[in-house]
Amino acid sequence: MQELQQSSKVLCSGQRVVDLGCWPGGWLQVASPIVGAQGRIVGVDLAALEPPLDLGNVLTLVLDLASADAAEKILQALGGPADVVLCDAAPKLTGVRAVDRAKEEAILETISNLLPKLLRPGGSLIAKLLECPEAQAIERAWRQRFRTRKVTKPDASRKGTTERYFIGIGFDSVDAE
Ligand SMILES: C[S@@+](CC[C@H](N)C(=O)[O-])C[C@H]1O[C@@H](n2cnc3c(N)ncnc32)[C@H](O)[C@@H]1O
């Protein structure tokens, strides 16, 4: 996250930020001092942070991003639409390629559906692009929704993985519900 922030500078003081797939809290710890006391960060994961992070501007929710009320609960906790959506969500891998790719695809689709509900017009996205059959189509769709966009593979990214991150700035919320 540190490297992604250094190259993109999307996080700033006073922002509302949501971190989708936040466990065990590494990204929350990077974002917290940057958004500061005037900002608010909501971290969401299937798993609870144990022990909880002692950061005054961070609230965490144990929640399945695919659940029907996920957007509503997140917006309520944030107090309004996010300036920045961070997403490092990834499934627990089984080792069975077809199963894992289907799970990765389901997460990317979930994030795509949540995006217009959570992100304010003009806001920014940093999201992990998982390798799956739909990844290219989803990346293309995301590219069309942001004024400035790039895909990057940070040096800190695990060696031997296909991990890439999409950075989009200036969200166009034209299809937002
Ligand atoms: C690579 S970890 C995130 C690491 C985190 N960015 C950090 O810096 O500590 C991916 C997380 O995505 C979460 N995740 C996967 N599917 C999810 C879902 N449907 N709802 C909520 N969280 C999910 C997993 O539970 C896992 O903790």
**How confident is the model over 2-57, as pLDDT tens digits?**
999 999 999 999 999 999 999 999 999 999 999 999 999 999 999 999 998 999 99
128 a catalytic residue: yes
Q: How far apart are CA 131 and CA 163, in angstroms?
A: 7
Which range of residues forms the domain containing residue 35? 2-171
User: Which residue's alpha carbon is nearest to atom 7 within ligand 1?
Assistant: 26
44: phi > 0 → left, psi -120 to 50 → alpha, else beta; which? beta
Q: How many domains does the chain have?
A: 1
The pLDDT, as a whole number, for residue 160 is: 64
Q: Whose CA is nearest to atom 8 of ligand 1?
A: 26
**pLDDT tens digit sequence for 118-131:** 999 999 999 999 77
Q: Residues near 155 by Cβ (< 8 Å), separated by ≥ 6?
A: 3
Answer whether residue 177 shows pLDDT above 50: no
Residue 66, domain member (yes or no): yes
Question: Is 114 among the domain residues?
Answer: yes
The answer to whether residue 107 is domain-embedded is: yes
- CA dihedral of residues 160, 113, 143, 41 (deg, nearest 10): -70
- Percentage of the chain lying above the pLDDT 90 cut: 75
Marked catalytic residue, from 103, 128, 153, 159: 128
pLDDT of amino acid 135: 84
The per-residue pLDDT for 154 is 79
The CATH number of whichever domain residue 36 belongs to comes to 3.40.50.150
Does residue 177 belong to any structural domain of this protein?
no
Place of tokens 């189509």: 137
What's the 147 CA to ligand 1 centre distance in angstroms?
A: 27
**Structural domain includes residue 63:** yes
